[in-house]
């Protein structure tokens, strides 16, 4: 049963929400923020457990988090400080 919500059905709202969360999770994944991606995509998985792309991406994230000790690349490198950067023979336009 689809319940109306104004001129948009609840079913349509859920699909939009799922898609928005998936897109945000996918973006976080490709930025290397695996923890954020895991959080967002886990919500998508709860709302749409048959969403194939979400399940595949979550499997990769879980495997990666397991092998890195639950630390994303962003977390591992956020404390790295470069003391000096030197450029030679560089032309700026």
The tens place of each residue's pLDDT in the chain, 93 residues long, gives: 444 434 444 455 578 888 999 999 999 999 988 889 999 999 999 988 888 999 999 999 988 877 766 555 666 677 777 888 888 888 877
Token pair belonging to 57: 């991406």
DSSP state of 89: S
Q: Distance between CA atoms of 91 and 93, rounded to whole angstroms?
A: 7
């Amino acid at each position: 049963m689809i319940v109306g919500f104004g001129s948009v059905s609840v079913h349509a709202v859920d699909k939009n929400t799922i898609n928005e969360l998936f897109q945000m999770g996918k973006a976080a994944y490709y930025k290397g923020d695996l923890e954020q991606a895991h959080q967002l995509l886990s919500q998508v998985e709860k709302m749409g457990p048959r969403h194939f792309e979400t399940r595949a991406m979550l499997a990769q994230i879980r495997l990666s988090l397991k092998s890195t000790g639950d630390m994303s690349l962003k977390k591992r490198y956020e404390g790295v400080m470069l003391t000096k950067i030197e450029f030679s023979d560089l032309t700026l336009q």
